[in-house]
């Protein structure tokens, strides 16, 4: 399976999870998980979809391990952020106890973006 499709499938998974959480928040009139919902939708779904699109349009046929490393970094980071924020805003952990989880997630998401920027800069421009 190409990395573009892997990003697309992970993005759709985050979208389903984030929408379920959004509907739960609206129905229960308890918006305390808003930061988790926002980051699941944006980092999990929107970013994964953007990365899938970049691979499809600007990096077709890219070879090497870097694209797999970038995929794992982003999806792992998004998952750690999602779990960390869900726990934090449901009161199942303090900011201090969840800092390693949230910090690692945030750094993974940042490293994935830097890796993507590097891959795009290094790629031969797609003409046409």
16 binds ligand HEM (CB under 6 A): no
22 binds ligand HEM (CB under 6 A): yes
93/85 Cα distance (integer angstroms): 10
**Residue 70 token pair:** 């970038």
Report 30-49 residues binding ligand HEM (CB under 6 A).
31, 34-35, 37-39, 41-43, 45-46
Q: Angle of helix 95-122 relative to helix 47-57, nearest 10 degrees?
A: 10
The answer to whether 32 and 89 have CB atoms below 8 angstroms apart is yes
17/107 Cα distance (integer angstroms): 22
Residue 77-116 contact track with ligand HEM, rule CB under 6 A, x = bound: -----------------------------x--x-------
Number of residues binding to ligand HEM, judged by CB under 6 A: 18
56/49 Cα distance (integer angstroms): 11
Query: Least distance from C-beta 26 to ligand HEM, angstroms?
Result: 4
Q: Which residues bind ligand HEM (CB under 6 A)?
A: 19, 22-23, 25-26, 31, 34-35, 37-39, 41-43, 45-46, 106, 109
């Amino acid at each position: 399976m190409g990395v573009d499709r892997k990003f697309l499938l992970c993005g759709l998974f985050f979208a389903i999870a984030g929408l379920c959480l959004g509907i739960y928040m609206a129905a229960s009139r308890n918006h305390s998980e808003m930061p988790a919902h926002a980051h699941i939708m944006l980092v999990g779904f929107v970013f994964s979809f953007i990365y899938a699109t970049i691979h499809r349009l600007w990096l077709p046929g890219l070879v090497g391990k870097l694209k797999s490393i970038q995929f794992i970094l982003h999806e792992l980071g998004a998952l750690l952020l999602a779990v960390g924020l869900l726990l934090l805003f449901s009161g199942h952990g303090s900011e201090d106890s969840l800092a390693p989880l949230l910090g690692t997630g945030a750094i993974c998401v940042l490293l994935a973006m830097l890796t993507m920027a590097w891959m795009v800069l290094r790629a031969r421009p797609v003409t046409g």
